[in-house]
Every structure is written in structure tokens, then in C-alpha cells.
Amino acid sequence: MLKEEIEQIKAEIAGLKACSQKEAEEWRVRLLGKKGEITQLFEEFRTVAPELKKEFGRTLNELKQTAMAKIAELKAATEDSGAQDGPKQDLSMPGDPKDLGSRHPVSIVRQEIVEIFRKFGYDVAEGPEIEDDYHVFEALNFPANHPARDMQDTFFVSAGHLNPILLRTHTSSIQVRTMETVKPPIRVICPGRVFRNEAISARAHCIFHQVEGLYIDEKVTFADLKQAILLFAREMFGADAKIRMRPSYFPFTEPSSEVDVSCNICHGKGCNVCKGTGWLEILGCGMVDPNVLKASGIDPQKYSGFAFGMGIERIAMLKWQVNDLRHYFENDLRFLREFSTAVEV
């Protein structure tokens, strides 16, 4: 009798079909559940005569294995066919809104500066933030006792040996790397993050961003430098922007100059942004010192060039009249969202 039941269930299993997870589960309960058909047979098995127990035991176990395998197979087969179950999701539900970010004001201004110089035919060059003393100072004609080489201005990664490893204090190091590898004519701008060991205040930070530029060719003069800066200022601050150059000093340029742009708020009349002067300082520049050309294998008899460098945060502060540099690093969403409409797609 038990045998017949086993055969019957076997046939039932062989013919099993299910078209959904739910049906497969129903079959599992029906066969293997607490009161399932196979479970019942195990109950009945207790009453089987001892000499038959061995054979029936084996058959019963086989039946249970077959049933379990079949159910697993049915479940696997119906797993992904959710469509047969009817749609699981209500497609008419409104989606989860995604919080979109906006570009950081420093990125926006960097992009703007890069685009302006691209129009003038400059390529973009990048370089390592962790640099060596040679590319940041030595090749740029910094005298051995220059304060920028001091622990007070520079973050050293490993000091003490001949060519210490440090965090670059300006992106002029990229210009050196470019001169080492590219033959003139060279026209590059070098945007990047720089590090200086300075106390953090409204006007200074230990991390900021620069765009520096380098132009080397035959017969490049100070007039070319002045023209390039003037065109940049007009693109950046408006067609009526004026510039003025003040003599300055950088170890790697001779002569050197600092450049002011006419105040874009009061148009030169004097206001509290330009502190009544009508002018705002925007960058440093100069003619590349012949020693610098020589150090990187460029013949100063044949070639000359100019270089310039500006702080991106400074330009951004002037553009949007932000009065505290620290805003750019705190990532306060209320501040960053002010620029969300400034993204050009």
C-alpha cells in the first residue's frame, strides 16, 4: 500500500509544472510541508514491518530528494519571470527624486580660465601634486636661502636628503616638466592644486588652486605678455576691463610684474571691494629667466618666453564678490548651491 502511494507521488512529481513562485511554494507545502504527502509517508513508515524497513527507507528518502530537487527547479525557473506574475512594480508611481549636485565654484572658474586660454591656442598640462625640490624650486632659479624653501612655507614629505619630496607650492613645477619634454614653441597652461604651510584665514589657505601659463618661442617679448594678459582680463572680467602692471620679483622671471585689473564692481571709481583704489590684483607674471630656460635644456640665445600664474580662488572671489576664501573649502551646501545655476551644460 505504501509502495503504491510512493509510485503515485513519484508520477505526480514527474508531471509537476508551475508557472509562478507562489505555485511552486504551494507544491512544496503540499508534498514536503508539515502535513505534506511525503511527510505523511514518513509517519506511516513507522508501522512498516522491520524486514521491509530498509528498502522502504531508501525509496522514501529517494522520493524526498526527488521532490526537493523538482521544487528547487520550479522555483529557479519561475524566479525572474516576474512578468508572468503580473507587474510587481507600479510603473505609474512617481520616481525617487535624485538630489543633483552642482559644479564647485572653483571648478567653474578653472574651466572658464582654461577655455579662455584654449581659445588663444594654449594646451593644458598637468603634473604631480607630490613633487621634488628640483622641479618646484631648484630648476626655477630659487636661491638656496629663499624663504619658500623653508619648512615654514613648504610641506615636506621627506626632508633632509639632496632632493626632498614635498607638496608643490605652485604649478610652475608643471612648466618645468613641460620644458624638459617639449621642444619650443611651447604654449601651455597648468591648472592644479597647490599647498603652502600658511595659517588659514579669510585671505589665505594651506590648500588652493592655481592656473599658471607658459609661452616660449623665438622673439617673444614683454609686449606679447602684456597683450595676452589684457585679452585674458577682457574675456574674464568684461570687454571694458583694463590692466596695469606693477614691478615685482619672482626668482624664475626677469623682469617680473604683478597685474591688477580695473575693479569690475565700481569700474575704477573706488569701492570697498577694491578698497577705494579702483584696482584688484589678479596675477603675477614675467619674462622667463634665462637660467630657467637653460636648466631645462632650452637655448636662451634662441628662445625667450613669458610665464604667469594666478590663484583660482582669488579670481572666483573677485567674480562673485566672496569675501572669505574659507567658503571654498568648507563644502557648506548653502554656499555651493548659490552657484548651481552657474553651470553651463
Binding site for ligand PHE (CB under 6 A): 170, 172, 212, 250, 253, 284-286, 307-309
Nearer to ligand PHE, 172 or 262 (CB): 172
Shortest Å, Cβ 204 to ligand PHE: 12
Q: Using N-to-C axis directions, what is the helix angle for 105-119 and 222-237, rounded to 10°?
A: 130
Nearer to ligand PHE, 6 or 189 (CB): 189
Shortest Å, Cβ 209 to ligand PHE: 11
Shortest Å, Cβ 311 to ligand PHE: 8
Shortest Å, Cβ 193 to ligand PHE: 12
Alpha helices (runs of H) in 268-342, residue ranges in sequence order: 290-295, 312-320, 327-330, 333-336
DSSP characters over 62-98: HHHHHHHHHHHHHHHHHSS-GGGG--SS-TTSPPPPP
CA–CA separation, 227 and 337 (whole Å): 36
Nearer to ligand PHE, 27 or 250 (CB): 250
Shortest Å, Cβ 250 to ligand PHE: 4
Nearer to ligand PHE, 9 or 194 (CB): 194
- What 240-244 contacts at long range (C-beta under 8 Å, 24+ apart), as own/partner pairs, is 240/267, 242/268, 244/279
Closest CB to ligand PHE: residue number: 309
Nearer to ligand PHE, 308 or 339 (CB): 308
